[in-house]
Homo-oligomer: A and B are copies of this chain.
């Protein structure tokens, strides 16, 4: 497939905008390239939290109360696993488990994560393409005040409480980015690349850490637009603000723009951060100021429309 729009995203925050895009674009025109740096083996099962969050969100099956997993989930498996003395720090719902078991079975049978995802997501009702960022393992690992922690151990096991000193994306040097994404980025017909408002350091950086993907992003003819996950000096969701503080960065939308400097052509800023627009524009990207806080499906679609309109203006400006 040749998407018109390629979205890059991690889990929850980014999935909201991906959902908005999926509601305003024909399925064949949207592909979503998803972080796999959070993936891990748990209980012998291959778990891909961000791919699954995007899948469940686009299928309308996501658990909005928990913020992860499936709606109306049950927990008999976990309850019994605890009785058996199994590891219970990472919750897997009864229904969710089917995806992990089936994916693991197919991975062991030699299929790629990309092929498995392409087959399973339409069965759950997802129409656009969901592409894992790579079929090779990339693993986000955090150096913290409690020692080295694998991503899920930090994020779920320790609820993102340890102070982070540095982050590594193990395997990113040698991992081959999803060839479908490279092909899309090299396609002159691509109209926009959207970096969704996921955590830049935890959810987007693993993609950018793959040299070939970073090069393809730098070389694409389509405008690359990032949406700030920081609004009014706070993260909409998750540990982004806390993490930025630990990394010694000012907790502002400008710090995120700086992180993406050289890669992005446009930056979408919330109205609450209007005062940062000039400073960010001074770093290079064009700036668009719109409401970015997505509280419902309508606001997800509105932001998606705003981002694509911004991309249109940038294409026209360079044409």
User: Residues on A close to B: CB < 8 A?
Assistant: 43-45, 73-74, 76-81, 83-86, 93-99, 101-102, 104-105, 108, 119-120, 123-124
Say whether, besides A44-B108, A123-B84, A124-B83, A74 and B94 are in contact (CB < 8 Å): yes
| Nearest chain B CB to A212 CB, angstrom units | 31
Q: Once bound together, how far apart are the Cα atoms of A93 and B80, in whole Å?
A: 11
Q: Name 13 A/B residue pairs within 8 A (Cβ), A-sorted.
A: A43-B105, A44-B44, A44-B108, A76-B76, A76-B95, A80-B94, A80-B98, A80-B99, A84-B98, A84-B123, A85-B120, A86-B98, A94-B97
Say whether, besides A77-B94, A79-B95, A119 and B85 are in contact (CB < 8 Å): yes
Closest to A105 in B: B44
| Nearest chain B CB to A48 CB, angstrom units | 14
Q: Once bound together, how far apart are the Cα atoms of A85 and B108, in whole Å?
A: 17
Contacts of A78 in B (CB 8 A): 98
| Nearest chain B CB to A94 CB, angstrom units | 4
Contacts of A95 in B (CB 8 A): 76-77, 79-80
Closest to A93 in B: B76
Q: Once bound together, how far apart are the Cα atoms of A170 and B20, in whole Å?
A: 56
Inter-chain pairs besides A43-B105, A84-B124, 14 sampled, C-beta below 8 Å: A43-B101, A43-B102, A44-B44, A44-B104, A76-B76, A76-B94, A76-B95, A78-B98, A81-B98, A85-B119, A85-B120, A85-B123, A86-B101, A94-B97
Contacts of A85 in B (CB 8 A): 102, 119-120, 123
Q: B105–A77 contact, CB under 8 A? A: no
Q: Once bound together, how far apart are the Cα atoms of A7 and B77, in whole Å?
A: 31
Q: Once bound together, how far apart are the Cα atoms of A39 and B86, in whole Å?
A: 22
Q: B74–A102 contact, CB under 8 A? A: no
Counting chain B CB atoms within 10 Å of each CB, which of A80, A85, A95 scores highest? A80
Q: Once bound together, how far apart are the Cα atoms of A102 and B81, in whole Å?
A: 7
| Nearest chain B CB to A101 CB, angstrom units | 5
Contacts of A96 in B (CB 8 A): 80
| Nearest chain B CB to A278 CB, angstrom units | 50
Q: Once bound together, how far apart are the Cα atoms of A74 and B93, in whole Å?
A: 12
Closest to A97 in B: B77
